[in-house]
Amino acid sequence: MPYEMTSLIRFMVYTFVRPGDIRQIQNKHIEIIKGQYNYLRLNLPEVKRHKAATVSLPPAVNIYKHLMAYQTSRGYGKPDDYVFFPEEKNRRLMLDIIGWLFNWILKDLDFKLGPHGVERTLYSLRHTAITFRLIYGGNIDLLTLARNARTSVEMIEKFYASTLSAEMNIALLHGKRR
């Protein structure tokens, strides 16, 4: 299994990116921000009419740093180099390869089917990222989450929040403002 797959899976969960973003993302699209909050600022190419920068969750910073050290040791890591599998110039093929590898991992772990009987795909990592923010993201509002994930509130409600139950956020429902 290529070293990058672990980083890719974790990166997707902490950055909300789509598999198509992984195909295009180059080092010049990522900026490490250090301050009160540590995160990656992602200035990705426009996708589905979304072109605003997004921010990652803090663990993405170390994932990216380790990946950059690995890529640099292999002669990559320059601004125009792709972040994942930079040696593969055919980016459509690269996306097919990582999709195949992800399916291999899921099948090997007997994890291909989700709890509702739906097959998981590489896109499931985006679903995981958004759903985790809905469950564990404190008082995050849907508009903020939607903008950062480069999607719409309607898409979050229709697809990502559809599997949530009221009891999953019972603390928010019972909480009081101070």
Q: CATH number of 4-174: 1.10.443.10, 1.20.1250.20, 3.90.850.10, 1.10.10.10?
A: 1.10.443.10
Per-residue pLDDT of the chain (178 residues; tens, 9 = 90+): 999 999 999 999 999 999 999 999 999 999 999 999 999 999 988 766 667 888 999 999 999 999 999 999 999 999 999 999 999 999 999 999 999 999 999 999 999 998 888 899 999 998 888 888 888 877 788 888 888 788 878 888 877 666 665 555 556 556 665 6
Q: Are 142 and 156 in contact (CB under 8 A)?
A: yes
Q: Are 15 and 63 in contact (CB under 8 A)?
A: no
* Distance from C-alpha of 41 to C-alpha of 45, rounded to nearest angstrom: 13
Element (H, E) at 157: none
Instruction: Record the pTM.
Output: 0.85
